[in-house]
Amino acid sequence: MALDPRLTPARPDLAAVHLKGKVEAAKFVGGTEQEVIVGQAPLRQAPSHDAPLLTEALRGERVMVYDTDEEGWAWGQLLADSYVGYLPASALLTPDAEPTHRVAALRTLVFPQASIKAPPVDALPLGARVAVLRMQDTLAVTPGGFVPGPHLAPLDAKEADFVAIAERFLGVPYLWGGKTSLGLDCSGLVQVALTACGIECPRDSDMQEKALGKSVSLAGLQHGDLIFWKGHVAIARGRNSMIHANAFHMAVAIEPVAEALARIGAAGSQVTSVRRLG
């Protein structure tokens, strides 16, 4: 079976040692686990700031790094969803304290001292993970600074309705490869929303269509069903409306299902499946 290049840490010159005998490469190496230490880090197709954005790694995510070049790019694989690409090496460090909490707000700020009047040093998106060392009044003390406690939730506290999480992103700009309130794409919206509910989710829509839920009829559409087209996914809010990040609106938008089906169908794309979780 052919290996998915999006999920396979292999280049002609270098590959992960566990792929020896499965792929051809000049050299095989073991990886070094590192942690994302900034709010969000781009995972790019090539070691260049101009290269296409594949996805984003959020604060606290772990990355298995196989190579770091002289230009400051680390090549590795995200441990959460197995995506492979290039990240700025400056966004990574050897893991220190284990994360204890996740960001439950759409976005929060990190302050350098115990004062909300201090200029923030970073911003953390929904789903980012931090290690809370202690509380100081309403601020959580973390290795990276002070974070508003009300914006955090324990790692084991799961959201109940991923559709409601997706709706919080309404109006956020469409960004290919994005996963935060600064911009996201259709599958990024699904992944972030499901992850907040403790549901493991692949990164791209074709992966999600294969891995998530069971196939159901479009005629019986329910709240939380995922509607798939080739290269696209939307979330049903019920029988008649859906929410999705899309390039037509260039934003996360809610629209009638019938209207969206007609528009997308007119562009030559038909629904490939409807998947129901649970």
What lies within 8 Å, CB to CB, of 239 at 6+ separation is 221, 222, 257
User: pTM for the whole thing?
Assistant: 0.97
The per-residue pLDDT for range 97-124, each reduced to its tens digit, is 999 999 999 999 999 999 999 999 999 9
The per-residue pLDDT for range 119-170, each reduced to its tens digit, is 999 999 999 999 999 999 999 999 999 999 999 999 999 999 999 999 999 9
Give the model's pLDDT for residue 2: 85
Task: Name beta bridge partners: 140.
Answer: 135, 147
Is residue 55 within 8 A of residue 41, CB to CB? The reply is no
The per-residue pLDDT for range 226-270, each reduced to its tens digit, is 999 999 999 999 999 999 999 999 999 999 999 999 999 999 999
What lies within 8 Å, CB to CB, of 130 at 6+ separation is 59, 60, 99, 100, 101, 102, 103, 124, 140, 142, 143, 144, 147, 152
Q: Is 70 exceeded by the pLDDT of residue 91? A: yes
Count of C-beta atoms within a 10 Å radius of residue 80: 19
**How much is the mean pLDDT over the chain?**
97
Is residue 132 within 8 A of residue 76, CB to CB? The reply is no
Q: What angle do CA 113, 88, 36 make, to 5 degrees?
A: 50
Radius of gyration of the chain measured on its C-alpha atoms: 20
**Residue tagged 């299902």 (tokens):** 257
* Mean pLDDT confidence for 45-70: 98
d(CA 29, CA 263): 48
Residue type at 31 in one-letter notation: G
Q: Is 80 exceeded by the pLDDT of residue 1? A: no
Count of C-beta atoms within a 10 Å radius of residue 183: 21
d(CA 61, CA 40): 10
Give the model's pLDDT for residue 278: 84
Record the tokens describing residue 187, joined without a space.
């599958």
DSSP class of residue 149? G
